[in-house]
């Protein structure tokens, strides 16, 4: 039995109205249309945004272009930009409860999780502030007496930042502060489902002293507001997080003007478990990895690849612990799995479960939507007897659904892990460090966790192989991703005339 936490009515909550931020002004959209967000956990409208069109996107791009070409931000010292980012980090921490509440009601994530994400986001802003002062170029005094070479790092220019609905504040914080640290100007388009906290971030950045036009924030759909941000010739770089399908479209649009593109896309992440693993620790990590953020997470540990000798025992133990997971009201501090983002997405998740069951998989736990009186929820679900060729084992379900596969040899486990198009992350569980290193070196993924899962830090790069994306976020080189290099080749002394006839 799943532990249910039934949603409580929001009471006297008043719909929050938001405008767009363009060139330092809070404005309405050109067409005056709005987007309303219905809380997935409560079934009532909680936010109303101005809906951006191509006209609004182009206004925001023009503002960012002016701010980069003629404004003070790219010309400030690194220490000045760093201090501004530190002020923003302090203000994020001060308004963390407000921001977490917005993320919880708009995305359906548990409020306790949202608060933890805000703490992590503030740390990322502080880390970016430190990196701002570490950005440097190179010099070459080794090219002979007549030549000195200097390599400069310069901000790449105007950056379009497009973020998804599942981690509204955390993901914009993995991009925006590093672009700002480099001296770039930006246009940010959060998902139209969860834009509230990003718009509040605009208020914070204004108060922190970011000049007008440096950060512009618009809200709208991908075709209307997002597409211009990926194809406009005045944009120098696109940083996108979302589905692999939309990532391909983003890359194709950006190719029209040969922009730099950074893509953080989908994942179908395996956890490979050997018989000598600490199963008590793994069981906890497996449940967390599968159901964190209701499984609406590119890093979800949605594929368990279990050694056949322990598969039945481990599956039964995971099912037993899954039954204790608390599902329901995102605003209840005890909730561990909140609501599914939209009714349509809930149908998609249920469709994967139904299809897998028809193909021969066994529903070992859950398997159905939950009726809690309001909103939309999915029971934590475990599918056993899953084959590597099934859709549920190859495609990103993006819901609280765990697929269990089995292996006999290390080679077979590696082959199964690498048999899909994604390569974002993976986990390996064994007390034998040789086994862990073998898996870590041969599984093709951007992050390999060893005897843990979904740990992270601002200092560690994040990104994927293959169709999980291009480039990396976070880590000590994160600011460099938003720069170009320029070579200054300087002649010293009298130049030899080597071309013209004598």
Return the structure tokens found at 421. Answer: 């198009």
Beta-sheet strand order (sheet of 45-50): 16-18, 45-50, 34-38
The answer to whether residues 382 and 2 touch, using CB atoms and an 8 Å cutoff, is no
Q: What pLDDT, on a 0 to 100 scale, did the predictor assign at position 501?
A: 67
* Residues β-bridged to residue 27: 20
pLDDT band with cut points at 50, 70 and 90 for residue 292: very high
User: For the whole model, what pTM was predicted?
Assistant: 0.96
Q: What pLDDT, on a 0 to 100 scale, did the predictor assign at position 58?
A: 98
Q: What is the mean pLDDT of residues 279-303?
A: 97
* Residues β-bridged to residue 383: 363, 403
For residue 325, CA distances in Å to 101, 319, 365, 370 come to: 22, 10, 12, 14
CA distance 349 to 352: 5
* 499 has a pLDDT exceeding 80: no
CA distance 250 to 253: 5
Residue range 23-39, pLDDT digits in tens: 999 999 999 999 999 99
Residue range 68-91, pLDDT digits in tens: 999 999 999 999 999 999 999 999
The answer to whether residues 160 and 239 touch, using CB atoms and an 8 Å cutoff, is yes
* 500 has a pLDDT exceeding 70: no
**Average model confidence (pLDDT) across the chain:** 97
Strand blocks (E) in 142-247: 147-155, 158-162, 185-189, 215-217, 237-241
Q: What pLDDT, on a 0 to 100 scale, did the predictor assign at position 353?
A: 98
Q: Is 27 left (phi over 0), alpha (psi -120 to 50) or beta?
A: beta
Q: What pLDDT, on a 0 to 100 scale, did the predictor assign at position 494?
A: 83
CA distance 426 to 434: 17
CA distance 168 to 99: 10
Residue range 412-465, pLDDT digits in tens: 999 999 999 999 999 999 999 999 999 999 999 999 999 999 998 999 999 999
Nearest Cα neighbor of 125 from 165, 76, 75, 90 is: 90
Return the structure tokens found at 118. Answer: 């805000």
Q: What pLDDT, on a 0 to 100 scale, did the predictor assign at position 193?
A: 98
* 1 has a pLDDT exceeding 80: no
pLDDT band with cut points at 50, 70 and 90 for residue 278: very high
DSSP 3-state of 54: helix
Alpha helices in 270-341 (DSSP H): 279-291, 311-322
pLDDT band with cut points at 50, 70 and 90 for residue 502: low
Residue range 155-189, pLDDT digits in tens: 999 999 999 999 999 999 999 999 999 999 999 99
CA distance 365 to 381: 5
* 98 has a pLDDT exceeding 80: yes
For residue 118, CA distances in Å to 94, 179, 467 come to: 10, 19, 28
By residue count, the chain amounts to: 502
Catalytic residue among 106, 117, 264, 296: 264
Cα 321 to chain centroid distance, Å, stands at 28
CA distance 312 to 309: 8
Mark whether 264 is an active-site residue.
yes
- Core vs surface per residue 365-384: b (16+ CB within 10 A) or e: bbbebbebebbbbbbbbbbb
Residue labelled with tokens 């809380």: 39
Q: What is the mean pLDDT of residues 273-287?
A: 98
Query: For a pLDDT cut of 70, what percent of the chain falls above it?
Result: 99
Q: What pLDDT, on a 0 to 100 scale, did the predictor assign at position 479?
A: 97
For strands 147-155 and 138-140, give the pairing: antiparallel
Residues sharing a CB contact under 8 Å with residue 112, sequence separation 6 or more, in sequence order = 333, 335
The answer to whether residues 106 and 46 touch, using CB atoms and an 8 Å cutoff, is yes
Residue range 352-390, pLDDT digits in tens: 999 999 999 999 999 999 999 999 999 999 999 999 999
Q: What pLDDT, on a 0 to 100 scale, did the predictor assign at position 216?
A: 98
The H or E element spanning position 70 is helix 54-70
Q: What pLDDT, on a 0 to 100 scale, did the predictor assign at position 2?
A: 85
């Amino acid at each position: 039995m799943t532990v249910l936490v039934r949603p409580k009515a929001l009471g006297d909550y008043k719909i929050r109205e938001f405008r767009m931020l363009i060139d330092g002004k809070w404005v309405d959209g050109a067409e005056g249309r709005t987007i309303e967000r219905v809380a997935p956990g409560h079934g009532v409208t909680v936010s109303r945004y101005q809906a951006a069109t191509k006209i609004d996107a182009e206004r925001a791009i023009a503002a960012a272009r002016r701010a980069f070409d003629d404004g003070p931000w790219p010309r400030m010292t690194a220490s000045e930009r760093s201090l501004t980012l530190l002020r923003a980090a302090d203000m994020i921490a001060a308004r963390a409860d407000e921001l977490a509440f917005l993320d919880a009601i708009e995305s359906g994530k548990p409020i306790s999780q949202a608060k933890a994400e805000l703490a992590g986001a503030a740390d990322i802003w502080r880390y970016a502030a430190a990196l701002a002062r570490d950005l440097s170029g190179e010099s070459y005094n080794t090219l002979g007496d007549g030549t000195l070479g200097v390599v400069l790092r310069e901000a790449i220019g105007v950056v379009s930042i497009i973020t998804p609905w599942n981690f509204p504040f955390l993901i914009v914080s993995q991009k925006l502060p590093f672009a700002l640290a480099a001296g770039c100007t930006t246009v940010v388009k959060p998902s139209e489902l969860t834009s509230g906290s990003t718009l509040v971030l605009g208020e914070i950045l204004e108060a922190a002293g970011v000049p007008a036009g440096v950060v512009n924030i618009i809200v709208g759909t991908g075709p209307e507001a997002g597409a211009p941000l990926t194809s406009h010739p005045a944009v120098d770089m696109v940083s996108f997080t979302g589905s692999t399908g939309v990532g391909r479209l983003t890359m194709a649009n950006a190719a029209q003007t040969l922009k730099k593109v950074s893509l953080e896309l989908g994942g179908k992440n395996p956890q490979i478990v050997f018989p000598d693993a600490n199963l008590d620790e793994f069981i906890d990590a497996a449940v967390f990895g599968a159901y964190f953020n209701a499984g609406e997470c590119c890093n979800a540990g949605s594929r368990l690849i279990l050694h056949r000798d322990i598969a039945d025992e481990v599956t039964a133990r995971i099912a037993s612990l899954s039954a204790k997971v608390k599902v329901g009201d995102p605003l209840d501090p005890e909730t561990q799995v909140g609501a599914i983002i939209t009714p349509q997405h809930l149908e998609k998740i249920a469709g994967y479960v139904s299809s897998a069951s028809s193909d021969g998989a066994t529903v070992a736990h859950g398997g159905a939507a939950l009726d809690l009186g309001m909103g939309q929820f999915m029971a934590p679900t475990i599918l056993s007897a899953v084959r590597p060729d099934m859709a549920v084992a190859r495609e990103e379900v993006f819901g609280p659904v765990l697929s269990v596969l089995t292996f006999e040899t290390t080679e077979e486990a590696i082959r199964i892990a690498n048999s899909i198009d994604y390569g974002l992350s993976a986990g390996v569980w064994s007390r034998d460090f040789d086994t862990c290193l073998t898996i870590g070196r041969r599984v093709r993924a951007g992050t390999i966790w060893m005897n843990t899962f979904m740990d992270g830090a601002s200092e560690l790069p994040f990104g994927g192989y293959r169709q999980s994306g291009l480039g990396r976020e976070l880590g000590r080189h994160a600011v460099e991703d938003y720069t170009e290099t320029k070579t200054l080749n300087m002649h010293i002394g009298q130049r030899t005339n080597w071309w013209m006839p004598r």
